[in-house]
């Protein structure tokens, strides 16, 4: 279908939903709340800030206390996440699973219409390197990601429509779009079993804890936490009580395992006191813990962490290094961090 | 959907100043139906909190057989929340999410039925509920030996229970590592001076036993070495670990070790499952 059909669709969706979509700002792309539909970017570039703040806000009130603890009566606005790229849909699938039993997440999520976009080969820098790092794009299939509506921009510049949920079909039908492909969700885990690339990365990280790379990274990493802020699969959080005038608000706020205090105990013991331990904790979360628990990849290879890192730490390159083995490992750094 | 973050109010039935820095709180849910249905497994913990002070994990230290009437936590004052908790009195309220985590294994699944329980410092708190449980008959059928290492006499926990425990067949030994004891016996329990590992030299250690350990990381290291020297297999050693916590649900990542969560998969782990991550 022509682009005009897409424009008409989003115009109609706007009647019921606030629209969030990628917008170009100077050089970079960001997910923004859309006032003018013309701002929306259709290049397929992944916005730098990821979409997670829509699903898991940086701060939210879990409980409010006055006489007793109760969940506040929150209103979750109807929102449409428009033009989410494939990696971001995968990340959303992970969040959906991790927060499956979380009533706050689920109530907010229910009001979000998820619309994906694929543009042939995604327009990312260092495309060849990017593919090597992770994705066999052709193998990624719509059956294994979560979405309501999906648009695929063809080489000719027209659009194919897909529906991935009852809601998606309804919205398309309401907009008189009949020519869409219905996609039956087949679970996050592919038919042939858990992702082989994920499993090989998992075992690589497990056996690479003594690799000298960690010491080299620890030398330069600032523990600024920027990588975890932009990462669509970083969902660590802290809970904190904020005293208001007459009440107390128990909040869930984004955390980062790079920040001090994340693992500190009363008395000062801290199992991630060093930058090396923090880096390993981060990699273990994505490549060991998440696959162990959910059989899903904890990294969707979006490349954002590398892009924002002020000292140029690049996850793809790190994997290349680790897979080359630990040649010339000096004896002094063979023990696991903090185990001395 | 059940809200896993919702704490429930409990009333303080009693507060006992157990040692200079530790108080034992006996608690009861305000909701009597909840209390009547309450059950925990020894080694599970509670997130205990106060509005404005957040919440933190504490081992449930009472006997699980009394769980439908009350439960207890022993709290050492070390920081902000614990200080606020220490200001509370009988009749006051606090807020609890419990039970959480996975506790000590059932004796049914142990391949070695005798027990060696080793607690260092406030790690002893995590063993209290197991000791209570095995004092109800198990210790007459199987040998149960307890090593309790403490800094000095003033810090000794649960003294008033020792005579009952001994009558039930439990063999307890105390050892102090900071100050030499002034008495030879506390409530009939002999006291030594030195590190907890010294007991492995001076005592006849049970054989055909499973070992349950809780204490500071250095204690784990040296006690496990002693156990291994005596032929304990890694799969016969269990540890209760301490990590910072927030959600208690296996999501927030604060308590993660390797591929596991202390709050959800633990705090009790079989040693062979976590030894690479310690
Ligand atoms: C499974 C488990 C069982 C425990 N059982 C007991 C017990 O029975 N009795 C007891 O006195 N203590 C126990 N602790 C330790 C107790 O949780 C800490 O002493 C307590 O969190 C300190 O809180 P605070 O606010 O006073 O200290 P602060 O230093 O002011 O801590 C601020 C925050 O840091 C976190 N934190 C600090 N220290 C710890 C810690 N050691 N463990 C986990 N989170 C921490 C908490 O979220 C706390 O609210 C246990 C810890 C764990 C993990
Ligand atoms: S962005 Fe780079 S410097 Fe900052 S914490 Fe991440 S890896 Fe370290
Ligand atoms: S590439 Fe980096 S930012 Fe993207 S999902 Fe993986 S770890 Fe997160
Ligand atoms: S306390 Fe949140 S994951 Fe364990």
Q: What angle do CA B68, B69, B71 make, to 5 degrees?
A: 90
Asked whether residue A68 falls in the same domain as residue A157, the answer is: yes
Alpha carbon of A42 to ligand 3 centroid (Å): 22
State whether B81 and B142 are in the same domain. Answer: no
Give yes or no for residue A336 having a pLDDT over 60. no
B174 shares a domain with B52? no
A340 belongs to a structural domain:
no
Pocket lining: A49 vs ligand 3, CB cutoff 6 Å? no
Q: Which of A138-147, A153-162, B120-129, B224-233 has the lowest mean pLDDT?
A: A138-147
Residue B29 CA, ligand 1 centroid: distance in Å: 22
Co-location of B54 and B23 in the same domain: yes
Q: Which residues contact A151 (CB under 8 A, 6 or more apart)?
A: A6, A83, A115, A116, A117, A118, A159, A160, A161, A162
Nearest Cα residue to atom 6 of ligand 2: A227
Q: Distance, CA B28 to ligand 4 centroid (Å)?
A: 25
Q: Do A149 and A200 sit in the same domain of this protein?
A: no
A131-135, B119-123, B138-142, range with the lowest pLDDT: A131-135
> Is residue A163, in this structure, part of any structural domain at all?
yes
Among A182, A216, A241, which residue terminates a domain? A182
Question: pLDDT value at position A340?
Answer: 32
Of A243, A262, A339, the CB nearest to B254: A262
For a ligand 4 pocket test, name from B49, B255, B257, B266 the mutation site with the most ligand atoms within 8 angstroms of its C-beta.
B255
Angle at which helices A275-284 and A213-220 cross, to 10°:
120
Residue B2 in any domain: the answer is no
Band the pLDDT of A135: cuts 50, 70, 90. Answer: very low
Inter-residue contact A274 to A262 (CB < 8 Å): no
The answer as to whether B163 is a domain residue is yes
Domain that holds residue B193: 107-277
Residue B52 is nearest to which of A101, A248, A293, comparing CB atoms?
A248
**In terms of domains, do A147 and A255 share one?**
no
Ligand 4 atom closest to Cα of residue B245: 1
Mean pLDDT score of chain A, rounded to an integer?
A: 87
Check whether residue A220 and residue A114 sit in a common domain: no
Whether residue A276 is predicted with pLDDT greater than 70 in this model: the reply is yes
Domain assignment present for B80: yes
- Is A142 a residue whose pLDDT tops 50? yes
Regarding the beta carbon of B243 and ligand 1, being less than 6 Å apart is answered: yes
Least distant ligand from the CA of A255: 4
Same domain (yes/no): A260, A153: no
Domain count within chain A: 2
Residue from B277, B53, B227, B22 nearest A277 by CA: B277
Same domain, B216 and B237: yes
Whole-number pLDDT of residue B226: 94
In a domain, B164, yes or no: yes
Structure tokens of B169? 């067949």
- Domain identity same for B88 and B212: no
Residue B219 counted as domain residue: yes
The verdict on residue B38 lying in a domain is yes
Nearest CA in chain A to B1: A103
Helix (H) / strand (E) element for A164: namely none
Residue A1: the pLDDT is 82
Question: Are A145 and A48 part of one and the same domain?
Answer: yes
Q: Tell me what ipTM this predicted complex has.
A: 0.90
> What pLDDT does residue A124 have?
53
Lowest mean pLDDT among A104-108, A118-122, A235-239, B138-142: A118-122
Q: Cβ–Cβ contacts within 10 Å for residue A187, how many? A: 10
* In the predicted structure, residue A338 carries a pLDDT above the cut 80: no
pLDDT of the residue at A133: 44
| Same-domain pairing of A172 and A202 | no
Q: Give me the domain span that covers residue A293.
A: 196-324
> CA-CA distance, B214 to B216, in Å (whole number)?
7
The domain boundary residue, chosen from A182, A214, A245: A182
Are A174 and A246 part of one and the same domain? no
Asked if A243 lies within 8 A of B256 by C-beta distance, the reply is: no
Q: Could you say which of B69, B84, B100 is where a domain stops? A: B100
Q: What is the pLDDT of residues A68-105, one digit of tens each?
A: 999 999 899 999 999 999 899 999 999 999 999 999 99
- The pLDDT of residue A270: 87
- Asked if the model's pLDDT at residue A143 lies above 80, the reply is yes
Is residue A157 one of the residues assigned to a domain? yes
User: Above 90 in pLDDT, residue A286?
Assistant: yes
CB contact under 8 A, A271 and B5: no
Going by pLDDT thresholds of 50, 70 and 90, the confidence category of residue A326 is: low
* Confidence (pLDDT) at B275: 92
Tell me, yes or no, whether A210 lies in a domain. Answer: yes
Verify that A246 and A298 share a domain, yes or no: yes
In a domain, B1, yes or no: no
Using an 8 Å Cβ cutoff, are B237 and B213 in contact?
Answer: yes
Specify the pLDDT at position B277.
Answer: 87
| Per-residue pLDDT at B179 | 87
Percent of chain A residues past pLDDT 70, beyond the cut: 89
Q: For residues B160 and B37, state if they share a domain.
A: no
What pLDDT, on a 0 to 100 scale, did the predictor assign at position A186?
A: 85
Count of the separate structural domains present in chain B: 2
Kind of pairing between the strands at B209-214 and B114-120: parallel
User: How high is the pLDDT of residue B264?
Assistant: 95
Of A65, A252, A289, the CB nearest to B51: A65
- Measured at the CA of B165, the angle between CA B161 and CA B170, to 5 degrees, comes to 145
pLDDT in tens, B19-63: 999 999 999 999 999 999 999 999 999 999 999 999 999 999 999
Q: Are residues A168 and A230 in the same domain?
A: no
CATH number, domain of B62, equals 2.40.30.10
B137 and B254 inside one domain: yes
Query: What integer is the mean pLDDT of B177-202?
Result: 89
CB-ligand 1 contact for B24 (6 Å cutoff): no
β-strand pairing of A28-33 with A112-119: unpaired
- Residue B96: what pLDDT? 97
Domain boundary residue, one of B85, B100, B115: B100
Q: In this structure, are B175 and B272 located in the same domain?
A: yes
Q: Are B242 and B163 contained in the same domain? A: yes
CB neighbours of B242 closer than 8 A, spacing ≥ 6?
Answer: A265, B123, B262, B267
CA of A235 to the centre of ligand 1 (A): 23
Q: Based on the domain organization, do A232 and A95 belong to the same domain?
A: no
- C-beta atoms of A265 and B244 within 8 A: yes
Please state which of the ranges A76-90, A131-145, B78-92 shows the lowest mean pLDDT. Answer: A131-145
CATH of the domain at B198: 3.40.50.80
A22 and A161 together in one domain:
yes
Per-residue pLDDT band for B124 (boundaries 50, 70, 90) equals: very high
Shortest distance, CA B91 to any CA of chain A (angstroms): 15
Angle at B249 between CA B247 and CA B255, to 5 degrees: 65
Q: Specify the pLDDT at position A129.
A: 52
């Amino acid at each position: 279908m022509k682009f005009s059909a897409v424009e008409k669709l989003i115009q109609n969706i706007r009647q019921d939903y606030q629209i969030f979509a990628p917008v170009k700002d100077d050089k970079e792309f960001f997910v923004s709340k859309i006032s003018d539909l013309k701002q929306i970017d259709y290049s397929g570039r992944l916005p730098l800030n990821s979409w997670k703040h829509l699903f898991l806000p940086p701060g939210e009130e879990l409980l409010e206390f006055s006489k007793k603890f109760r969940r506040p009566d929150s209103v979750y606005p109807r929102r449409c996440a428009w033009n989410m790229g494939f990696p971001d849909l995968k990340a959303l699938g992970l969040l959906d699973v991790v927060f499956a039993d979380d009533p706050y997440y689920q109530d907010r999520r229910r009001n979000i219409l998820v619309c994906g976009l694929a543009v042939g080969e995604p327009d990312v820098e260092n495309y060849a390197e990017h593919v090597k790092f992770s994705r066999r794009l052709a193998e990624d299939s719509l059956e294994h990601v979560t979405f309501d509506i999906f648009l695929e921009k063809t080489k000719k510049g027209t659009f194919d429509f897909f529906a991935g949920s009852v809601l998606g079909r309804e919205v398309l039908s309401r907009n008189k779009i009949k020519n869409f492909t219905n996609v039956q969700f087949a679970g996050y885990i592919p038919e042939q079993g858990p992702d082989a690339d994920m499993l090989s990365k998992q075992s690589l990280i497990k056996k690479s804890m003594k690799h000298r790379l960690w010491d080299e990274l620890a030398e330069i990493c600032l523990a600024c936490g920027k990588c975890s802020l932009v990462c669509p699969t970083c969902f660590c959080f802290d809970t904190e009580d904020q005293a208001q005038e007459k009440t107390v608000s128990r909040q869930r706020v984004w955390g980062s395992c790079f920040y001090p205090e994340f693992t500190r105990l009363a008395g000062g013991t801290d199992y991630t006191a060093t930058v090396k331990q923090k880096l390993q904790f981060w990699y273990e979360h994505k490549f060991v813990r998440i696959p162990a628990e959910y059989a899903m990849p904890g990294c969707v290879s979006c490349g954002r962490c590398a892009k924002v890192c002020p000292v140029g730490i690049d996850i793809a390159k790190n994997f290349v290094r680790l897979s080359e083995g630990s040649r010339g490992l000096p004896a002094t750094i063979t023990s696991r961090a903090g185990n001395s | 959907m059940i809200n896993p973050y919702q704490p429930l109010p409990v009333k303080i039935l009693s507060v006992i100043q157990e040692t200079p820095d530790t108080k034992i709180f006996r608690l009861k849910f305000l909701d009597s139906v909840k209390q009547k249905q309450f059950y925990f497994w020894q080694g599970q913990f509670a997130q205990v909190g106060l509005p404005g002070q957040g919440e933190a994990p504490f081992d449930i230290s009472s006997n699980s057989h009394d769980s439908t009437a009350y439960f207890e936590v022993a709290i050492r004052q070390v920081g902000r929340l614990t200080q606020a908790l220490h200001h509370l009195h009988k009749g006051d309220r606090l807020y609890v999410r419990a039970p959480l985590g996975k506790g000590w294994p059932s004796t049914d699944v142990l391949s070695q039925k005798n027990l060696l329980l080793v607690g260092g410092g406030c790690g002893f708190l995590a063993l209290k509920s197991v000791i209570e449980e095995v004092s109800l008959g198990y210790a007459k059928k199987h040998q149960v030996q307890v090593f309790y290492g403490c800094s000095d006499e003033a810090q000794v926990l649960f003294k008033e229970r020792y005579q009952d425990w001994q009558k039930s067949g439990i063999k307890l030994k105390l050892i102090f590592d900071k100050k030499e004891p002034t008495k030879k016996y506390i409530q009939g329990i002999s006291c030594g001076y030195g590190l907890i590992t010294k007991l492995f030299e001076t005592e006849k250690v049970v054989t055909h036993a499973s070992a349950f350990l809780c204490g500071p990381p250095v204690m784990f290291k040296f006690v496990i070495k002693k156990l291994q020297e005596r032929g304990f297999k890694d799969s016969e050693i269990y540890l209760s670990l301490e990590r910072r916590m927030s959600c208690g649900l296996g999501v927030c990542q604060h308590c993660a070790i390797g591929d596991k969560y202390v709050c959800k998969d633990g705090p009790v782990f079989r040693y062979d499952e976590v030894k690479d991550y310690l």
